[in-house]
Structure 1
Amino acid sequence: MAPLAVTACTATTALGAGLAAQRDALHERRGGLRRNDLPGLSLECWIGRVEGLEEAVLPPALGAWESRNHRLAWKALHQDGFAEAAAEAVARHGADRVAVVVGTSTSSIGETEHAYARMDDGRFPPAMAALRVHNPHALSDFVRLASGARGPCMTIATACSSSAKVFAHAARLLQAGAAEAAIVGGVDTLCGSVLFGFNALQLVSATPCRPFDARRDGLSLGEGGGFALLEREDAAPRALAWLAGYGESSDAHHMSTPHPQGLGARLAMQAALARAGLAPSRIGYLNMHGTATPANDAVEAQAVAALFPRELHAGSTKGWTGHTLGAAGIVESAFALLALREGELPGILNSQVPDPACGPQVNFDNARRSIDYAMNNAFGFGGNNCSLVFGRA
């Protein structure tokens, strides 16, 4: 594929707001997980909670969109000059030529939970009957309104691969000529459906998650949001980095368990490399999906070991942020872009005992080296997989 310019990028997680906060925490190996302290959601676990969302309010013009998810979206949009970059793209290309493609797994379902808890005679309280909020597409509509973009508007909801797949969908829109630029990203926030849903699947650890550790026993859930601006090379005023390739697959092995030999994961990584025109040895850093669940980590490590040379530096950043669900793809793409720019390659936080079933590519310690290409993996329920390759500007 022809590479696409990444002309702006931002991320907000439990590590803080904006790329500088992410960079500093990754470098200092300072995690953002804390004991679960969400009001009314008592579950013995650790979470990656974004500070200040409870006190945040949307501007009056956007008050009808009130939700925790939209508060985080607004906060994320206004970091690293992203809102200004998006407005400049809208002015340069025209609002109808800027697409919005955003991923989420639960959108604003937290507000729907609150409304159900306060039902009166079988109806939502009038103040909480916000139909524009109680639907899966709410986030994309909100970002469209907040950014002024009026091009194609799409929501990707493929669980944990959602905001990785937005890059692939946007690439097809740009390459088809349906838009000149695309705002891509994802936002997910913590709520009862998330905490208790994953706990019902016996996937939540009572301790901070330990990706690829021999003693790992489950994930830590987090919330996060991030955005990137994609433009065709001939229309981009500059490039922070390049989207060099993407790969998607759906092995459909099981609703929540990956293919035991990592077939879908390997197909996605191979497709991303093929679109980028790269041999596996050209990848300098791989941000693995690495959720710290026993099955998922072993399967992903097996697929990586079968494809990449042992010198690859691969790690998982979920020990820093928790698993940010539908936002994991964009958050960890931002981490891959930081690795390209800064030359600091994150390892794994909290893990101490290497799993002998995982290959030599998996590194617990950070490393420093200049790299030309980085890959990000995001794998969702139902075997819905996406891998992205980014190139240094």
Structure 2
Amino acid sequence: MKNVYLIADNIYSPLGDTTAQNFEQLVNNVSGVQQHDNEAMSDEPFFASLFEKDEFVDADYTKFEQLLIASITGALKDSGVNPSDKKTVLIISTTKGNISLLETEQPSPELDERIALHTSAKLITQHFGFVNEPIVISHACISGLAAMITGMRLIQSGQYDHAVVAGADVISKFILSGFQSFQAVSPGLCRPFDAGRDGINLGEGAATVILSAEEKPTGEAIELVSGAISNDANHISGPSRTGEELYFAIDKAMKGAGLQAGDIDFISAHGTATIYNDDMESKAITLAGLREAPVNSLKGFYGHTLGASGLIEAIISAQSLKQNLVIPTKGFKQQGDTNPVNVCSQLISKPLNICLKIASGFGGCNAAIILTKS
């Protein structure tokens, strides 16, 4: 099969407009999560990573679509990839899309069509001049990794040479209230894997990675070696209590890459800072024999960016490999799981070659990918 390389990327978030800006902020321990007093979104103050209100003023596109356009533009710049090439495909990852329009528009067939994810995908396709039908991946919180795995497989099959994989989500009252109804939102800053963790912070953001069968001449690309998806079918919102199903995805991804536990230099976890998710991930990591590998979660910097989270965290992981730096888990202080893992609590500088990125989501879905220096 063809090798698949990450040849260009962009993160567009409250921390910065480029991947480089975002990574620098993380290295400097700067978080986008802040307290917000916005009665239009919540009756109570809440912590989240949000864009400024006046950043998105284009009447032709929604905020969600403007985020995608900004990130895709940043990734395509100097990439050498032509959207009008028949061997290039656009894959969009999101969980909510334009669902916030339900709060501002009257119900109608037109609204139904405007909210539909395929409508946004068509608009983005036309904006950039992609000639192929876009693919939309909306698979809860593993959407970003599932989109990368889809792009990888399409390239490996020979159907395409390039896949532009972009993900975004915005936070609205509709979305925030849903998580509040689960009592899953932390009243303060989230603390992934910590003994005192009490819920998530949400976040807005977009990210794009361009996958290609052609490695950049500079040799700076990271390779997406393998990926796997599983589903535990445990509960509509509660993760598996054993971690076996996420372990199944991890094991399959590692076997697909021909790796053993000792080969993994660090793990980028989902790390939502909810009690059950972090405990489940710890169990899965333990089952995989990876308790000694450094583990980090970026939710303390970005909040949970939903359909963009897997992409943002995979891109940061790729940068970590390039720069030999493991970003710490902001908010973590004390081990809080029955199967404690090696949570990274400070910046680690050491030679890095291989990263395992994992994610889990509502409905019991799990995903794992392997990134390596090419």
TM range (shorter): over 0.9
- In the alignment, the residues of structure 1 paired with residue 54 and residue 158 of structure 2 have an alpha-carbon distance, to the nearest angstrom, of 41
- In the alignment, the residues of structure 2 paired with residue 205 and residue 185 of structure 1 have an alpha-carbon distance, to the nearest angstrom, of 28
Matched, 1:18 2:18: yes
The one-letter amino acid of 1:353's match is: Q
- In the alignment, the residues of structure 2 paired with residue 151 and residue 270 of structure 1 have an alpha-carbon distance, to the nearest angstrom, of 34
**Aligned length, in residue pairs:** 373
1:200-234 alpha-carbon deviations (Å, 9 max, x no partner): 11111111100011011100000111001111148
Give the corresponding residue for 2:136: 155
Change (3 A) 1:173 1:6: same
Give the corresponding residue for 1:335: 316
Give the corresponding residue for 2:269: 288
SS at match of 2:55: coil
Matched, 1:84 2:77: yes
CA contact 1:183–1:230 (8 Å) conserved in 2 = yes
The one-letter amino acid of 1:163's match is: G
SS at match of 2:164: strand
Give the corresponding residue for 2:46: 45
Give the corresponding residue for 2:98: 108
Change (3 A) 1:184 1:221: same
1:269-318 alpha-carbon deviations (Å, 9 max, x no partner): 11111111111211111110000000110110111122134431111110
- In the alignment, the residues of structure 2 paired with residue 235 and residue 364 of structure 1 have an alpha-carbon distance, to the nearest angstrom, of 34
Change (3 A) 1:234 1:290: closer
Aligned match of 1:273 in 254, 257, 281? 254
- In the alignment, the residues of structure 2 paired with residue 356 and residue 108 of structure 1 have an alpha-carbon distance, to the nearest angstrom, of 36
Matched, 1:29 2:29: yes
CA contact 2:228–2:367 (8 Å) conserved in 1 = yes
Give the alignment of 1:117-156 within 5 angstroms. Answer: 119=106, 123=108, 129=110, 133-156=114-137
Give the corresponding residue for 1:5: 5
Aligned match of 1:74 in 63, 69, 76? 69
Superposition deviation, residue 139 in structure 1: 3.8
Change (3 A) 1:237 1:351: closer
Superposition deviation, residue 15 in structure 1: 1.7
Give the alignment of 1:164-243 within 5 angstroms. Answer: 164-233=145-214, 240-243=221-224
CA contact 1:269–1:387 (8 Å) conserved in 2 = yes
CA contact 1:211–1:348 (8 Å) conserved in 2 = yes
Superposition deviation, residue 123 in structure 1: 4.8
TM-score in terms of structure 2 length: 0.93
- In the alignment, the residues of structure 2 paired with residue 253 and residue 356 of structure 1 have an alpha-carbon distance, to the nearest angstrom, of 20
CA contact 1:3–1:245 (8 Å) conserved in 2 = no
The one-letter amino acid of 2:94's match is: T
CA contact 1:72–1:225 (8 Å) conserved in 2 = yes
Unaligned residue ranges in structure 2 (runs of 5+): none
- In the alignment, the residues of structure 1 paired with residue 158 and residue 306 of structure 2 have an alpha-carbon distance, to the nearest angstrom, of 31
CA contact 1:151–1:179 (8 Å) conserved in 2 = no
Unaligned residue ranges in structure 1 (runs of 5+): none
Aligned match of 2:344 in 360, 363, 380? 363
1:220-258 alpha-carbon deviations (Å, 9 max, x no partner): 000111001111148989652110110111111111111
Superposition deviation, residue 389 in structure 1: 0.8
Deviates more, 1:169-178 or 1:278-287: 169-178
CA contact 1:180–1:235 (8 Å) conserved in 2 = no
Change (3 A) 1:269 1:68: same
- In the alignment, the residues of structure 2 paired with residue 292 and residue 146 of structure 1 have an alpha-carbon distance, to the nearest angstrom, of 37
SS at match of 1:158: coil
Superposition deviation, residue 189 in structure 1: 0.6
The one-letter amino acid of 1:45's match is: F
1:171-209 alpha-carbon deviations (Å, 9 max, x no partner): 221222221211012101111221001111111111110
TM-score in terms of structure 1 length: 0.89
CA contact 1:5–1:236 (8 Å) conserved in 2 = no
SS at match of 1:160: coil
CA contact 1:5–1:243 (8 Å) conserved in 2 = yes
CA contact 1:99–1:151 (8 Å) conserved in 2 = yes
The one-letter amino acid of 1:355's match is: G
The one-letter amino acid of 2:368's match is: S
- In the alignment, the residues of structure 2 paired with residue 185 and residue 37 of structure 1 have an alpha-carbon distance, to the nearest angstrom, of 30
- In the alignment, the residues of structure 2 paired with residue 342 and residue 235 of structure 1 have an alpha-carbon distance, to the nearest angstrom, of 17
The one-letter amino acid of 1:6's match is: L
CA contact 1:108–1:138 (8 Å) conserved in 2 = no
Give the alignment of 1:239-254 within 5 angstroms. Answer: 240-254=221-235
CA contact 2:7–2:216 (8 Å) conserved in 1 = no
